Amino acid sequence: MRMMRFKSTDGFRLGVVVGDALADLSAIQPNAPRDLTGLLQRGPTILEDIAGQIRRATSAQMIAVSNAKPALPIERPEKFICLGLNYADHVNESAYSTQPYPTLFMRAPTSLVAHEEAIERPLASAQLDYEAELAVIIGQTMRHVTADQAIAGVAGYACFNDGSVRDYQRHTVQWTMGKNFDRTGGFGPLFVTADELPRGASGLRISSRVNGEVRQSDNTANMIFKVGETLSYISQGMTLQPGDVVAMGTPSGVAHAHKPPKWLLHGDVVEVEIEGIGILRNQVANEQTQSPVLAVA
Ligand code: MG
């Protein structure tokens, strides 16, 4: 199943792609969850239940995909964990070496932006970069799981752009600052259930384009740490829960590796494409102001 969360007149809704249309879950069932996390919290059989409901959907419960404004698949993931240095060619183009354990950091919800919304190029830096990544959406609670058990608990996959502000990333040995500028991480639009893809989403072409020019092109089979072993490793210390997200690292070809670097500029269009999942597209727009904000609520 291929699902999209979208903006409606009464807030957000979830839809299932049926040809050129979306079957609107809230139209089919008024109390349907409006966020992927809420949906997945209903348990592993919920996706099958929905597939059954979709088969009975009427045309009045469908809207054209082209009329649906995409939203983040998950508005506020409780955990959004990212891997760095997970493709050998990307490690080689960076200042780092291959690591014996997954290099993990986290992103905050304020750094995420939906498909077709603007990625914000900060006034504080000229070094905005793109990173095409496979995002894993957790479907079941996991702690102390094996790689095989972890794969069974994956709900599905999405496209992610781990937008990075390189100078801030390198101010210290911790990457958090450069990986969390507001509205730099494109996410979505589609959530594709795990049963539609190869085991662990391995063997899929992954690429990025800027203004149509291919910048990254690789295959998810080349990930150093695979999906199952990565989730197993994380679960040694953290409970993974439905709606948590793990982004699996980026291939070579990022802006900073080009000579001279090909930093993102105002007006650039960045696309991340993963075979079998889809295309995530965002235009880059300069931050409008650095005026101080200090407000209640
Ligand atoms: Mg990354």
| Rg of the chain taking only CA atoms, in angstroms | 19
| pLDDT given for residue 44 in this prediction | 81
| pLDDT given for residue 297 in this prediction | 75
Residue 196 CA, ligand 1 centroid: distance in Å = 24
Residue 101 CA, ligand 1 centroid: distance in Å = 15
- Within the chain, strands assigned E span 2-8, 11-18, 21-24, 62-64, 69-70, 80-84, 103-106, 112-114, 119-121, 128-129, 132-138, 154-162, 164-165, 185-187, 190-193, 205-210, 213-219, 245-247, 269-274, 278-286
| pLDDT given for residue 282 in this prediction | 98
- Look at residues 91, 96, 94, 83 and name the one whose alpha carbon lies nearest to residue 258: 94
Residue 29 CA, ligand 1 centroid: distance in Å = 37
Q: What is the pTM assigned to this prediction?
A: 0.97
| pLDDT given for residue 147 in this prediction | 98
Residue 39 CA, ligand 1 centroid: distance in Å = 27
Query: In this structure, which residues have their CB less than 5 angstroms from ion ligand 1?
Result: 131, 162, 250
- Return the ∠ at Cα 185 (arms to 282 and 34), rounded to 5°: 85
Residue 23 and residue 13 in contact, taking contact as beta carbons nearer than 8 Å: no
As a whole number of angstroms, the distance between CA 130 and CA 262 comes to 10
Residue 156 CA, ligand 1 centroid: distance in Å = 19
Tokens of 25: 């879950």
Residue 17 CA, ligand 1 centroid: distance in Å = 28
Tokens of 204: 């899929």
| pLDDT given for residue 273 in this prediction | 98
Residue 246 and residue 231 in contact, taking contact as beta carbons nearer than 8 Å: yes
| pLDDT given for residue 208 in this prediction | 98
Residue 32 CA, ligand 1 centroid: distance in Å = 33
As a whole number of angstroms, the distance between CA 102 and CA 229 comes to 9
Tokens of 248: 């699996």
Residue 83 CA, ligand 1 centroid: distance in Å = 6
Q: Residues in the chain with pLDDT < 70?
A: none
Residue with structure tokens 């931050």?
A: 287
